[in-house]
Chains A and B, each alone.
Chain A
C-alpha cells in the first residue's frame, strides 16, 4: 500500500531562517513522483516542487529545495530564508502510475502547519 507520512503537525520558524518539513513515503514502485504543495489559509493549493524517483539531483525551485533520500524513502522540503507569507499548511504527495500508458494515482500526507514568526 502506498503511504505518505508527515510527522510534524505544526512547526514554527523565525523569519529569515531556514526550515525543514519532513516527509517519508512507502511504495514498492520503482517509478514514482514526489510533490510538495502549499495551502494558505485562503484554501487554494499551490504547487511548490517536484522530484522524480529517477532524478539523481535534488530538485530546487527558488527558495524551495527537496532533500530526496531514496534509500531512506524520505523527501523533505527545505524552505530557505522564511518569509511571513510562507505561513501555511504544507502537503507532501506522491504520484504513481496506474495501469499501462494511462494515468497516475496520487497520495497525500496529513500536512504540516508552518508558522513564520516575525
Chain B
C-alpha cells in the first residue's frame, strides 16, 4: 500500500459525459501528479500540482482540468468524454517537487467510456 488513495476504482460512463477522479496523497506529501495509461498511448504525464498550485503540464487535453485543494487532495475533471479517453488514470504523490523525488502511485481509476 503506497498510502495514496484514488476513488473511484472503476468508472463506466458514456461519450459526452463529464467525470471527476479524486486523489488523496500520502500524508505530508505536497506534490500530486496525474498520469494516463492507455493501450495506444502508453503512460502519459498529464499535470503536476505542488501545494495547491499548478507546476508542470504534460499531454493534458483542454477537455481535462485538475486542481489541488487546501487539504492537498486533488481532482482530475474529464469532460466531453470520447471513446479514446478510456484508460487507467493514476495519481501519484511526492514529498516535494524536485526532479528526483520518489513518486508513490495510487492504485488507479479505470475509466471506460462507452
- Closest Cβ of chain B to A44, distance in Å, is 6
A27 CB-CB contact with B under 8 Å:
no
- Closest Cβ of chain A to B75, distance in Å, is 18
Q: Identify whether the interface residues of B are mostly helix, strand, loop, or mixed.
A: strand
Q: Identify whether the interface residues of A are mostly helix, strand, loop, or mixed.
A: strand
B42 touches A111 (CB 8 A): yes
Chain A contacts with B in 66-118, Cβ cutoff 8 A:
91, 93, 95-99, 102-111
The answer, among B50, B58, B105, B108, for a CB contact under 8 Å with A46, is B105
Count chain B CB atoms within 10 A of each CB in A37, A98, A99 and give the residue with the most.
Answer: A98
- Closest Cβ of chain A to B14, distance in Å, is 24
Q: A43-B88, A43-B108 are in contact. Are A105 and B102 (CB under 8 A)?
A: no
B18 CB-CB contact with A under 8 Å:
no
Range, interface on chain A? 20 to 34
A50 CB-CB contact with B under 8 Å:
yes
A44 touches B108 (CB 8 A): yes
B103 touches A103 (CB 8 A): no
A12 CB-CB contact with B under 8 Å:
no
